[in-house]
Structure 1
């Protein structure tokens, strides 16, 4: 059980940012505000769909915990997560960070999330010191224009509805599914870690539905459907106030496991992040 402490924002950057976090924190600063210091943190902000925690929230909080143990100049580069056990809504989550490596250019952290002493989530996170380099990507334009997607969709859970979403259809339980355009409804602090947490949160939306077996019903059978693992590569800075397209496709399905792979691009076609997720589907 997490011990109650004064809640504080993770890794404040400067006096101005600290003041804003304390006086009027954004929705993402509030969601990833953790108790504790050192390598052990705790969150009482545990939300989800029904009685199960939302994996994107746990991943975002784990990223914030990892980020609290590195220098602010080191930016999130990638994360690779495993959903070990379904988390329970309303139960405190403890995050323990292992300082795997601190190098000249990269920092690696392992984060274990637990409830009542039982691990429910594991994640490896890499941070990178910015380096001057070429800026190249394969030429790509958004697969669907924002003007062509006019259905405004509210995320069904009140705690999750921080993004304005435009999509052509709904996924499971009325959650939107790719392709979808999104942006934050409210301002988010100009902090790369917080903005990476916001991107991590929404990166877990819709991928399970995308990975369903072709030709099968939209909803799973009695065995259910759930995320198994999740990976995000953060290529470029994410501005949550601008529209971004999240587009994913099913890649493979076998042995009750479906793989979906997606990309997040801005309106100019700039690749901001790549995502991959394998889901368990029991029909």
Structure 2
């Protein structure tokens, strides 16, 4: 990534200006050669939604659609719609706007912690301790470091199992940690080893937050390709903390087709 001027920090990216009751603006801008990173706009949208929710409710899921390519050199405005405020759950919709056009929309749900059974069925993916692994670059993101455990076989050796954490200390606020996790969850991808398919832009992204997590401590992300058809690729992923707790799950779909001649 090429930026002009000092690179922003993650906390600067998550510092939203409140314009009105349900209207926010991300004012930190920078120049880069690619379209606006999808994880950034998703994290900012979740944070905007959470700023309209009572503090006793943390995000438990989000579903977003990337509609147009945004620009990192322009501010993004986030309009929040208050769909429902129940006794246990709160629902919000967010529209991200640049130059009068919607570039991303999201539905997010927040919940009060109600206790109950706490179990995970699938085993924790095998991975060495992150402190024993060499550092690995995490392109296109600010404030995160990585440790690769496994790369995707084939010509495109993207990391599909890797440790990552935010290098900036984060406040003890579940919404901030969930937003930071959302930011990094859009990095990399998992693709089937077939000929003719080239990864393209993200189309949609979903996250489920199962348990509290600190994004400034090591998280293990494990991505698995599931299906490629109709010019689209779909994969799933899990996130575990260093203690082995399953803290979040994700699914994502992106373009996956031969380049246009």
Q: Does 1:228 align with 2:210?
A: no
Shift of 1:175: 9.7
Matched residue, 1:177: 159
**Distance (whole Å) between structure 1 residues aligned to residue 31 and residue 113 of structure 2:** 34
Secondary structure at 1:52's aligned position in 2? coil
Matched residue, 2:147: 166
Higher fraction of strand: 2
Stretches of 4+ aligned residues off by more than 6 angstroms = none
Q: Does 1:129 align with 2:112?
A: yes
Shift of 1:136: 1.2
**Distance (whole Å) between structure 2 residues aligned to residue 45 and residue 263 of structure 1:** 30
**Distance (whole Å) between structure 2 residues aligned to residue 150 and residue 90 of structure 1:** 35
Q: Specify which of 75, 79, 86 is matched with residue 69 of structure 2.
A: 86
Higher fraction of helix: 1
Q: Does 1:101 align with 2:76?
A: no
CA 176–55 in structure 1, closer or farther in 2 if over 3 Å, else same: same
CA 47–121 in structure 1, closer or farther in 2 if over 3 Å, else same: farther
CA 46–228 in structure 1, closer or farther in 2 if over 3 Å, else same: farther
Where in structure 2 are there 5+ consecutive unaligned residues?
Answer: 1-7
Confirm or deny: 8 A CA contact 2:62 2:107 kept in the other structure.
yes
Alignment coverage as a number of residue pairs: 247
Confirm or deny: 8 A CA contact 1:44 1:90 kept in the other structure.
no
1:136-188 residue CA offsets vs partner (Å, 9 max, x unmatched): 1115123322369734112234xx231120015778xx995220111221211
CA 170–46 in structure 1, closer or farther in 2 if over 3 Å, else same: farther
Confirm or deny: 8 A CA contact 1:156 1:175 kept in the other structure.
no
| TM-score normalised to structure 1 length | 0.80
